[in-house]
A and B are shown apart, each in its own frame.
Chain A
Amino acid sequence: MLDVFALETMRFAAVATALVGFVASYFGVFIVQRRMAFLGSGLAHAAFGGVALGIFLDAQPLITAVPFTVAAAIAIVWLRERSALAEDTVIGVLFAVAMALGIIFIQLRPGYVGDANVYLFGSVLWITRTDVYLAGALAAGTVCTAPLWGAWAYASFDRNLAKTDRLRVAWHDYALACAMAVVIVVSMKIIGMLLIAAFLVIPAATARLLSHSFRVMTLLSIAIGSVTPVFGFFLAHAADVPPGAMIILVQAILFFAALAVRKRS
């Protein structure tokens, strides 16, 4: 089974997948606890608009997708703070706009749908050394946010309590949404836009079912998020199916097992 690593592309893909799994599962604990799963889905759609812009401009899609998705994340948080609209409404509007732009961009550049499919469904064959470095940089950046864990956890528990303690809750919201945006864009090539929201949520949701402390939830989520992509990767290779889908299925099996354990206890 280890022959999967004979190819350099496969080695790149396995390392990049484990790294983005670590990052996604770390941010996932805050997303799950704040009930922001729909934001992940919305940002994935927004990222597709950014990728399509890159294809339209004949540029590297990641170069356009990162600022495009970060801008969408900032817009969602800003509108949620400043308007009387609910977050799901704001996300629903913005991701539809981003998708519409994406469809138009791709339509204006016929012959480039292959690139778009990679980002929609994920493909390990397109992962390059640059992607591994990018995932590594993302993981390093995530480790650097560790001092913010206490503030993010506190605001996830009770926003108003955190505000009365003069925590800059809105600033943390922007930081968290921007981090999500970057994670989503970098993970898209591997997992695919259609499944990326689940990749952010399932490890943390599984950890939540098995934890009575936020610290344990965080550690468990990271463990699940970092290890399951490697298993999923092997199984996908053996079954000759897309790795993104297999990774999500492996994570989902763990989730349902945790659900059963929780119900018994």
Chain B
Amino acid sequence: MSGIAVSVERVSVRLGDYEALRGVSFAVPEGAFVAIIGPNGAGKTTLLNVILGLQTPDNGTVTVFGGHPSDLAPTALGYVPQVKTLDRTFPGHAIELVVSGIRRGWPWRISAAERAIALKSMERTGVARLADRPISKLSGGELQRVYLARSLAREPKLLVLDEPGAGMDVSAEADMYHLLDAYRRANGATVLMITHDWEGARVHASHVLLMERGLAAFGAPEEVAREDRLLKVFGYAGHQAATHRSNADA
């Protein structure tokens, strides 16, 4: 075992004329809980796509548990995409979405064993009562928790989440952090999560990755969330919002 879950070395990505990532390097230890933060357009989702093997970098290398991202066994990966990218017109039920994570295909029929696994996972994220509800009738927060149940059902060793708290109320978001933290500790899993929630990142994450197309900082939350860095990356308003939250908390 390398001890490094995700290694990113001098990665650059251009999307057309837009330079989404510029020479990004960092290494995530196994078992870490990494909050990826940064303003809109900082390259957070592009970075996740590179780590997931969905985007090939123009330069640099990425390894996940020592191998190429596409070599990672699908069951070792739990991915929670942004809910806003989901096609809500798709005719499916919440439990089918969860079972699709177990089966790696959309289910024609759900076996009793699959239903039991799916319901157990949905119980953990508090959405078991929504199992037979159509996807189109779930709220954004409910859908996020269904997606989370889908990822946890396969008990992955790497969880990658793109703004999982979007659409959740404060209580549900706090529950999600506790659930992720508990899962990580119990399974030795690594969590990478894009978030705009500074407070959650500061309290729950073991590492914060601050992005601004390139890497602005990577390290312990208290070290990364320094005023000069926040001011540089987020500008005055973002810095005020972040420090206000921290002061209110202290």
Contacts and interface: CB of A to CB of B under 8 A. Distances in A.
Interface of A: 33, 84, 149-151, 153-154, 156-158, 160-161, 163-167, 208, 211-217
Interface of B: 16, 49, 52-54, 70, 74, 77, 79, 81, 85-87, 89-93, 96, 100, 103-109, 134, 136
A154 B74 CA distance: 15
Most buried by A among B16, B70, B100, B109: B100
Contacts of A165: 74, 104
B96 A154 contact: no
A156 B105 contact: no
23 contacts: A33-B89, A33-B90, A150-B105, A150-B106, A150-B107, A154-B104, A156-B90, A156-B106, A157-B106, A158-B81, A160-B54, A161-B100, A163-B52, A163-B54, A164-B74, A164-B77, A208-B91, A212-B91, A213-B93, A214-B91, A214-B92, A215-B109, A216-B91
Nearest to B150: A161
A150 B108 contact: yes
B103 A150 contact: yes
Given A214-B90, A214-B96, 4 more contacts: A156-B90, A160-B54, A163-B54, A164-B77
A216 B107 CA distance: 12
A217 B106 CA distance: 13
Nearest to A215: B108
A215 B90 CA distance: 11
A157 B93 contact: no
A230 B49 CA distance: 48
Identify whether the interface residues of A are mostly helix, strand, loop, or mixed: helix
Contacts of B103: 150
Contacts of A84: 16
Given A164-B53, A216-B91, A151 B105 contact: yes
Contacts of A161: 79, 81, 100
Contact of A158 (B70, B74, B86, B107): B86
A97 B49 CA distance: 36
B90 A157 contact: yes
A53 B93 CA distance: 47
Contacts of B81: 158, 160-161
Contacts of B93: 212-213
A215 B107 CA distance: 8
A85 B11 CA distance: 25
B52 A164 contact: yes
B91 A166 contact: no
B68 to A, nearest CB: 12
Contact of B106 (A154, A164, A211, A212): A154
Given A164-B79, A213-B92, A213-B93, A157 B87 contact: yes
A106 B22 CA distance: 54
Contacts of B105: 150-151, 153-154, 167
Nearest to A217: B91
A71 B74 CA distance: 33
A265 B103 CA distance: 33
Contacts of B52: 160, 163-164
A151 B100 CA distance: 10
B106 A153 contact: yes
Most buried by B among A84, A156, A161, A163: A161
The 4 closest A-B pairs by CB, nearest first: A150-B105, A153-B106, A165-B104, A154-B106
A213 B16 contact: no
Contacts of A167: 104-105
Contacts of B79: 161, 164
A33 B86 CA distance: 12
Contacts of B90: 33, 156-157, 214
